Amino acid sequence: MKKLKNEKEMLKKAIIEGVKYGEKRGVVEFEPTDSANEKIEYIYRLLVHDKVIQPIPQDQISQKSMMHKLAIWASRLD
């Protein structure tokens, strides 16, 4: 897993865009008390379910790998 140059900024963007995506679809309403880890996991699973991103193999799923996958997704948005 190769780290992106601006992975932290891309992850922040992914969370913001992922929250918008989920709420626009009407499938989720995030609360201010939801942790970033909860948001990351939900957004990752939603994007995989909608076939927006490729799933990570089951034996390799971790918080870090989901964060990386979302950062890559966000880097391609514009």
Residue found by looking up tokens 């950062």 in the block:
71
**What is the pLDDT, as a whole number, of residue 78?**
75
Domain spanning 11-75: CATH superfamily: Uncharacterised protein PF16691 family (1.20.120.1930)
**What is the pLDDT, as a whole number, of residue 2?**
75
Mean pLDDT of residues grouped by 10 in the chain (78 residues)?
A: 85 96 93 94 97 96 96 92
pTM: 0.92
Amino acid at 51: K
Domain ranges of the chain: 11-75
Helices vs strands, H then E, count in the chain: 3, 0
